[in-house]
Amino acid sequence: MPPIPESLVSNAIPMKWPTSKFEGESPGIEVVIAQELLIWLDNENPTDYVSDYDNIIVDLMRTWDEEIPSLNFFKYDLAPVPNKDYSNRLKYFDEPMGIYSSTEWFQDVSLNALAIAQFSGDYVNRGTSNEYILLDFSTIIINQAFDDLAWDINKSGYQIGYFDLPSIILHELGHFLGLIHETSGQNAVMRATIDTSTKYRNLYPADQNAISYIYGPDFLTLTAERSGPIVSAIAQPKDIDDTESDEENTRVKGFIELLKDGTCNHYVDGKLVYSH
Ligand SMILES: [Zn+2]
């Protein structure tokens, strides 16, 4: 039996999509992408952004997808769409799911967050040691209002002093699929912070272990072996939005920040539930 990835025992409650979403006749999640982000990705030549985003974003999606050959995480017909409301994070809980950006950012999100991943889902095995969240919604929002924002959109490398947008998107795609942060200190795309000297184009062993774990056959078995107090770290009953709650109180929604440095914050229904 493989070891439980450190990120899942020390961080927060596991999350995953139902594997049925990634199997069958038309497997994978359809993901849209904000037109503004595409133009930004190709700011030197906005007219041919389609071919460029195809190279950049699709490669990043495939990097995760190819880790689990039996599942297809994404559909690759990324439709360009207008961005949503720039200052209201909750608007981004509307379909379609995708990779968006905000030029104004959100008052209830850290100013030094480079991006957030928002999610909603249902608790499974609530209150037991093998509790987890079964996702039904995920979306990524890039902070296009970031102070001194100067993403390096170069596919082949990064520039000193610039945050590398493909690295950020690769990290956020990990959240999109349900991964939480790697806190063991190992190298990982899923570490909670990023700096301007970071360039991710491939997964580290810690990332590979984490995605294999949540979509592998040992998921429930290993989940049950985790210790009790840790699994309830992300959300207590008070953190569940009443408007989202059903009779059994299983709904959950929240977001995870990627910060340029410092503490990583996890929020559920606008309330800080976990920092590390
Ligand atoms: Zn993150």
Q: Tens digits of per-residue pLDDT, 149-163?
A: 556 655 555 566 778
User: How many angstroms separate the CA atoms of 269 and 235, rounded?
Assistant: 10
What's the gap in Å between 256 CA and the centre of ligand 1?
Answer: 6
Res 244: pLDDT: 46
Res 27: pLDDT: 96
What's the gap in Å between 190 CA and the centre of ligand 1?
Answer: 6
What's the gap in Å between 114 CA and the centre of ligand 1?
Answer: 9
**Cβ within 8 Å of residue 84, ≥6 positions away:** 91, 92, 94, 100
What's the gap in Å between 247 CA and the centre of ligand 1?
Answer: 31
- 19-53 residues labelled b (16+ CB within 10 A) or e (exposed): eebbeeeeebbebbbbbbbbebbbeeeeeebeebb
What's the gap in Å between 47 CA and the centre of ligand 1?
Answer: 31
Res 43: pLDDT: 54
Neighbours of ion ligand 1 (CB under 5 A): 256, 258
Instruction: Report if pTM > 0.85.
Output: no
What's the gap in Å between 113 CA and the centre of ligand 1?
Answer: 10
Q: Spell out the alpha helix ranges (H) of the chain.
A: 6-10, 35-41, 49-53, 59-65, 165-176, 205-214, 219-224, 228-231
What's the gap in Å between 25 CA and the centre of ligand 1?
Answer: 31
Q: Which residues of the chain have pLDDT under 50?
A: 1-11, 46, 49, 224-246
Res 105: pLDDT: 87
Domains, the chain, with CATH or none:
6-271 (3.40.390.10)
Res 212: pLDDT: 93
What's the gap in Å between 261 CA and the centre of ligand 1?
Answer: 12
What's the gap in Å between 265 CA and the centre of ligand 1?
Answer: 9
Res 251: pLDDT: 87
Angle, vertex CA 163, rays to CA 46 and CA 31, nearest 5: 55
What's the gap in Å between 48 CA and the centre of ligand 1?
Answer: 30
Res 160: pLDDT: 66
Beta bridge partners, 267, equal: 255, 272
What's the gap in Å between 257 CA and the centre of ligand 1?
Answer: 5
Res 229: pLDDT: 31
Res 264: pLDDT: 65
What's the gap in Å between 110 CA and the centre of ligand 1?
Answer: 13
Strand pairing category for 113-124 and 251-259: antiparallel
What's the gap in Å between 117 CA and the centre of ligand 1?
Answer: 7
Angle, vertex CA 145, rays to CA 197 and CA 259, nearest 5: 45
What's the gap in Å between 260 CA and the centre of ligand 1?
Answer: 10
